């Protein structure tokens, strides 16, 4: 009954969200939730070759002026000093789909303006009741990028990670948020896209950022995501879905810590499913003082053949692109 209630809440009419959108917000106009513009997967797409695709999750570290690299002056790792290297990463690797975490206003504007010729961009501020872009309503949020030369956007939307996913979680008297008592409000953005290189086959992309303090919130978020994906993608078995489905993000816990058991059971885990030498490489570096695997890529769909998983530790002009490394997964259609 708990999740049944959640599913019904997520499918409320789009007008409940759109009515409160600000007209000036051209960066991420809210589109209707799935159901009204629900795409149907091509049952027999023309492949035209393997057409490998690169999925990425990247916590970019929120913009501030005090982050520092080891042994360097205060502010040496500020966003302003890292952004050119981040641009070089995108120019070099050219990931097809990217989930972004910890986006602040100047970063949202930068992604939209700097990468806008190659990528479509969508983000949502986690604290704004209308679902406005971080670029216009400020705060911090989650976003996604998709290559324009490969994808046609079908629809996009967001929801909060809480028992009322279409309503902004209230702040509790102890300073936490929502029924799961998260340290911060947490959201997921998602999109349905047509792959123009694969017969317009529809695929789904769910980037997110789980809470960094509450184990209960992380466990509930993982369980909730499985049910949300099944509902929004209209599948009963994510692994055997006719379309490719990806759930990526900074989940703030290890894959074997127990909090992600529902994801491990319902989806495939890119880190262990794909080949590559980075299976045990940390994804969180703390600008040099940590080595934890907390950024993850999960996938479903019987058409997905894993090719390679890697953690990009390349020096693009700075010691670290962020306090997290970009995590990447290459796959191709069967």
Task: Give the count of domains, the chain.
Answer: 1
Q: Report the C-alpha gap between 151 and 196 in whole angstroms.
A: 6
Contact 107, 60 (CB under 8 A): yes
User: How confident is the model at residue 100, as a pLDDT?
Assistant: 98
pLDDT bucket at 171, cuts 50 / 70 / 90: very high
Residues in the chain: 334
Mean pLDDT of the chain: 88
pLDDT tens digit string along 223-260? 999 999 999 999 999 999 999 999 999 999 999 999 99
44 pLDDT exceeds 90?
Answer: no
Q: Report the C-alpha gap between 34 and 41 in whole angstroms.
A: 14
* Residue 241: DSSP 8-state: -
Domain with residue 21: its CATH number is: 3.60.10.10
User: How confident is the model at residue 276, as a pLDDT?
Assistant: 86
pLDDT bucket at 12, cuts 50 / 70 / 90: very low
Domain range enclosing 305: 2-333
Least confident segment among 3-7, 67-71, 76-80: 3-7
């Amino acid at each position: 009954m708990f999740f049944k209630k959640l599913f019904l809440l997520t499918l409320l009419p789009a007008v409940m969200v759109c009515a409160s959108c600000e007209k000036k917000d051209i960066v991420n106009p809210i589109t209707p939730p799935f159901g009204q513009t629900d795409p149907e997967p091509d049952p027999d797409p023309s492949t035209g070759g393997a057409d490998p695709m690169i999925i990425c999750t990247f916590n970019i570290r929120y913009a501030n002026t005090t982050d520092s690299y080891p042994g360097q002056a205060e502010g040496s790792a500020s966003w302003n000093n890292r952004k050119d290297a981040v641009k070089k990463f995108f120019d070099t690797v050219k990931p097809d789909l990217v989930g972004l975490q910890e986006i602040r206003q100047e970063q949202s504007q930068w992604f939209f303006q700097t990468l806008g010729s190659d990528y479509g961009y969508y983000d949502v501020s986690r604290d704004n009741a209308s679902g406005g872009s971080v670029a216009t309503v400020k705060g911090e949020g989650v976003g996604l990028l998709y290559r324009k030369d490969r994808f046609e956007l079908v629809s996009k939307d967001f929801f909060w990670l809480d028992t009322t996913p279409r309503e902004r979680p209230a702040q509790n008297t102890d300073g936490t948020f929502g029924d799961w008592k998260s340290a911060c409000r947490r959201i997921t953005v998602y999109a349905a896209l047509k792959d123009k290189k694969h017969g317009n086959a529809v695929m789904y992309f769910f980037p997110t950022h789980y809470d960094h303090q509450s184990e209960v919130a992380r466990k509930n978020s993982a369980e909730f995501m499985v049910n949300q994906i099944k509902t929004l993608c209209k599948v009963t078995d994510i692994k055997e879905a006719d379309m490719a489905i990806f759930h990526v993000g900074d989940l703030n816990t290890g894959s074997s810590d127990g909090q992600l058991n529902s994801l491990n059971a319902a989806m495939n885990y890119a880190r262990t499913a794909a080949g590559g030498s980075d299976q045990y490489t940390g994804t969180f570096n703390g600008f040099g003082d940590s080595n934890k695997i907390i950024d993850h890529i999960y996938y479903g769909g019987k058409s997905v053949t894993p090719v390679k998983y890697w953690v990009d530790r390349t020096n693009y002009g700075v010691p670290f692109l962020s306090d997290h490394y970009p995590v990447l997964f290459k796959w191709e259609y069967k």
